[in-house]
Amino acid sequence: MRLRSKWFLGILLAAGFTTTVAFKREENSKPQKTKRVALNVIAFDQNDHVVNDLTAHDFQVTDQGKPQPIASFEHNEQPAPVAILFDLLNDGAGAQGYGAQEIARALQHLGSSDSLYFYLLTREANLRVVRAVPAPGVEVEAGQNNVPWTQRIGPLLDAIMNSVAGLRQQDIDNISATHGAIKALGSMMAPIPGRKYILWISRGIPLSFRRNDTSPIVDQAARALDDEGVTLDSVDQGSSVSGTSGTFEEFAKITGGKTYYNEFDKALSEVMNASRSNYIIQFDAAKLDGKYHKVRVTSSRKGVRLQVKQGYYAE
């Protein structure tokens, strides 16, 4: 009897031990949620020239004020695509003509233009191609008879603008149409590996439907661009009191771009230089709380100015 009791107790203990181990294995096998945050960083010196020789040791990253170790670092010097978006939908006829002249003058003096593309956002809320972003696997002709396409931009742009100078369609929602066009252009560029850049030339559109000082429409469009690896830089052709600069600043904040005020020459030069040299810094988010996290990236190199997005959504 005593032997049978010991035998039965041994079975119970063994069964209990096995159950405990199985439970612990199941508990430990739950996947831990993590997010690797990628930051596209462009470094400029005091003369607005791109800095090419920084290392991971030259950067410091904070998330919500807390220092973060750099998990991955890469310096990329492969030419990245840049798409100019000239916004006619939100401009008057006078501003359009002046803007076209400024663009043509700047492009004619541009050096390499193989990775540069050009679209108009018409008053009918359509994207009109000047030079198209290539489809995956398709090479775009750099020019005719070894002449860069930018050398012919004057008459080419005049002809296209004359062809779209018709009356504007009625009942166009400028806000939705503009951000829809920006998202569509970003989707065209998304299949291209690496970082991509859009340079939006416009008088802009006012922020509306404010939610914590951020328009949901702008927020959605900017997040879609950033998810596709696209940085949006802007040239604000309006005045500082027009109330439209908030739109540009929100895109810059979320995608890591910059807003220029009536400085197309400088914008084109900096964006083209930035597209040929950028740093990709990655770190692991400490907490996925579904909130917007402020990120700060600094450099220990004296005199270096960094251009990078200001945060991310931890989700």
DSSP string of 28-82, one letter each residue: HTSPPP--EEEEEEEEE-TTSPBP----GGGEEEEETTEEE---EEEEE-SPPPE
Residue 16's pLDDT is 45
Token pair in block for residue 206: 């006012």
Q: String of b and e for 51-75 (b: at least 16 CB within 10 Å)?
A: beebeeebbebebbeeebebeebee
Cα distance between residue 228 and residue 222, in whole Å: 10
Q: pLDDT tens digit string along 183-209?
A: 999 999 999 999 999 999 998 876 554
Q: pLDDT tens digit string along 133-149?
A: 988 766 666 555 567 88
Closest CA to 283 of 48, 89, 36: 36
Do residues 233 and 200 make contact, with C-beta atoms less than 8 angstroms apart?
yes
Contacts of residue 213, defined as CB under 8 A and 6 or more positions apart, other chains included, come to none
Residue 143's pLDDT is 55
Cα distance between residue 78 and residue 75, in whole Å: 9
Q: What is the CATH number of domain 36-77+278-313?
A: 2.60.40
Residue 172's pLDDT is 83
- pTM for the whole structure: 0.82
Contacts of residue 139, defined as CB under 8 A and 6 or more positions apart, other chains included, come to none
Residue 247's pLDDT is 86
> How long, in residues, is the chain?
315
Q: Which CATH architecture has domain 82-274?
A: 3-Layer(aba) Sandwich (3.40)
**pLDDT < 70 stretches in the chain:** 1-33, 92-95, 137-146, 166-167, 169, 206-214, 239-245
Residue 286's pLDDT is 81
Residue 19's pLDDT is 35
Residue 78's pLDDT is 87
